[in-house]
Structure formats: structure tokens, C-alpha cells
Amino acid sequence: MTYLPSPQRYKHMQYRRCGKSGIKLPAVSLGLWHNFGGVDVEHNFRKILHLAFDNGITHFDLANNYGPPPGSAEINFGKILHEDFQHYRDELIISSKAGYTMWDGPYGDWGSKKYLVSSLDQSLKRMRLDYVDIFYHHRPDPETPLEETMQALDLIVRQGKALYAGISNYPADKAAEAIAILKQLGTPCLIHQPKYSMFERWVEGGLLDVLGDEGVGCIPFSPLAQGLLTNKYLHGIPEDSRAAKPTGFLQTSQITPERLEQIQKLNAIAHERGQSLAQMALSWVLRDERITSVLIGASKPAQLSDSLKCLENLDFSAEELAQIEDILT
């Protein structure tokens, strides 16, 4: 059956300007880090993508190594994009990244011009695209000169393979340096993608100030702390959770009695606000005007629908913020 997106798709989503650019992003964007790989069920992630666009999510975020296996998320997304979204490409912002290990040898990792250009060429083939809207360097490279990495992003934009350049996981000092180099090259940095949540707040130590001062957007990933800031861990560690898997990014050792107590106290505040813990956690990240959008993942359509409800209550009272701060510190 042919997919026809909802004619009401732009009615309820909020769109925020990305720094000082001409681009606006949906307040909630969909990340394909998990749940869209070769090991996942196509029928399920196709429904998630349809639901996202039906609700005004126009931004889909990928990277070369998303899967598993690496590259499979881009292949799957490209297939569905070609089959279901071909007529809506100009309504979409599609991003990809390179910076982590993607192939063997000295040219398949980090931040050389060789790696970034080759990686994006591969990503475009996997997604069946002529260009991506945003291309990020995924992490700082301690050995490659920052000038070379930024020159690669500038080259990619000038070649028309990406419309905008971004950086991810850069600390404040390196971000400021990268932004300055790109500005000098004539390809402004559009956006930064850092890890940020109630439990991961390093961006408040200077990065958000840099981005605000420079007019660069910010789109945090892992705003739910790999599921910690949901109702999943209110009563301990479920057997089917990420923390229960030894190879996952969330380890059992991170879920201490102190952390569980924080989660339960935060959940009580969310309940008073008429939100789930996940909804409040997303609203909390979006409370800062320097945040352009928040990246969420979803393993099923119902999760996505629940997360989108965060937009119904983005305001916090001074008392609520003080209570949350007291719990977190």
C-alpha cells in the first residue's frame, strides 16, 4: 500500500531556528542509532518513520556506522526513503556523520580528509541520495590537524554532497576552534550534536555558551540517558533492558541505589506535571533556548508517540527547576 503522509503533519510540531541560520528543525528529531539496523524488523521501523513524519518530524539523523551491522541503518533508511518518501525529499532534513571506525586500515576512522570524503560517498550510495542536508564530524581526532578535518567539511559542502556542516562530541574549546576555522573557510558550522541529559551535563560547562555566542545550533543525543530517564528502571533492572545486556552502552554498574532514588524522585515531579518521566526529561532539555532540537530513538511506534507528548508541557516553574536541581546535585 502506498504511504500517504498525514495532511495535518505540520499542525502540532514546533520548529526552532538552528542558531543564526535559515534552517528550522523540529523540536523533536528522530535518531536511527538503534532499532533500524540489519538485525531489526523492517515492518516495525517503517511504521516508526511513517509516524514520525506524520507528526511533523522532518529531521532524520544517521551515521555511517549505525546498525548493527555498521552501514545497515543507512541502507534500510535509503530503501524506505526511496519507496515511501521519494516525493517528500525536499520536506526532509537528512544528516549523517563519520568519525568512528567504519572499515579496516588507516583510512577508515577519525578525521582525515581521506576518511571523511570517502565515508560520505559510501553513505550517499547506501541511502541512494545525491546529498545529505547536514554532514557531521562525529568526534574530535587528537592526531589529525583540526584544519584538515574542517577543510574536509568545507570541501564536502562546496562539492554539493552536503548543504551544511556540523560537529559532534566536541568539547567547548575544540568546538570554538572548529567553528572559527569553518567561518574563516566560508562554510559556517550549522550545528553541534553533544550528549546531554539530566544525568549528563558537561555541555553546561561552557559549550552551550560557545554555541549561543557563535549562533550555532545544538541538538543533544541520549536525552533519556539510554533509557534511565524513563519508567523502565523505576523498580530496578528489567531482564529485557539495555542495562541487562553485557555488550550494551548502559552498564548495570551505572544503576546504583543512589541513581534509582534520583529516578524515583524525578518521576514524582513528572507525575505532578502531568507527564511521564521521559516526557519531562525531554522537556527539561528543550527548556534552554540554545537547544534547537532533541534527538530521540524509538524501538516501537508507541514509544515515539509517548515522547512527542513532551511538547504539550515545555514550561517549568522556578520551583520545579529548583526541585530538579536539588535531586540532581
Question: For residue 176, what is the domain's CATH number?
Answer: 3.20.20.100
Residue 114 lies in a domain: yes
CA–CA separation, 141 and 100 (whole Å): 10
Q: How confident is the model at residue 1 (pLDDT cuts 50, 70, 90)?
A: confident
Angle ∠(130,135,140) on CA atoms, nearest 5: 150
Provide the H-helix boundaries in 159-275: 172-185, 207-214, 257-272
Residue 29 lies in a domain: yes
Residue 325 lies in a domain: no
Residue 171 CA, chain-centre distance (Å), reads 17
**CA distances for 139 relative to 61, 174, 259, 304, angstroms:** 16, 10, 28, 27
Counted domains in the chain: 1
CA–CA separation, 309 and 296 (whole Å): 13
Average pLDDT over residues 287-291: 97
pLDDT of the residue at 66: 98
Closest among 233, 276, 239, 238 to 257, alpha carbons compared: 233
* pTM of the predicted structure, to 2 decimals: 0.94
pLDDT of 223-274, one tens digit each? 999 999 999 888 766 665 555 555 555 656 678 889 999 999 999 999 999 9
pLDDT of the residue at 245: 54
- Cβ atoms of 176 and 210 closer than 8 Å: yes
Residue 196 lies in a domain: yes
pLDDT of the residue at 179: 98
pLDDT of 207-220, one tens digit each? 999 999 999 999 99
Name the percent of the chain lying above pLDDT 70: 94
What residue numbers bound the domain in which 81 lies?
15-226+287-316
- Cβ atoms of 144 and 177 closer than 8 Å: no
pLDDT of 8-44, one tens digit each? 999 999 999 999 999 999 999 999 999 999 999 999 9
pLDDT of the residue at 75: 98
pLDDT of the residue at 233: 82
Residue 90 lies in a domain: yes
Mean pLDDT, the chain, integer: 95
Residue 78 lies in a domain: yes
pLDDT at 111 over 70: yes
**CA distances for 185 relative to 5, 148, 158, 239, angstroms:** 39, 11, 11, 51
Closest among 220, 154, 158, 214 to 192, alpha carbons compared: 220
pLDDT of 72-106, one tens digit each? 999 999 999 999 999 999 999 999 999 999 999 99
pLDDT at 140 over 90: yes
Residue 239 lies in a domain: no
Residue 141 lies in a domain: yes
What is the rounded radius of gyration, in angstroms, for the C-alpha atoms of the chain?
19
pLDDT at 52 over 80: yes
Average pLDDT over residues 302-328: 97
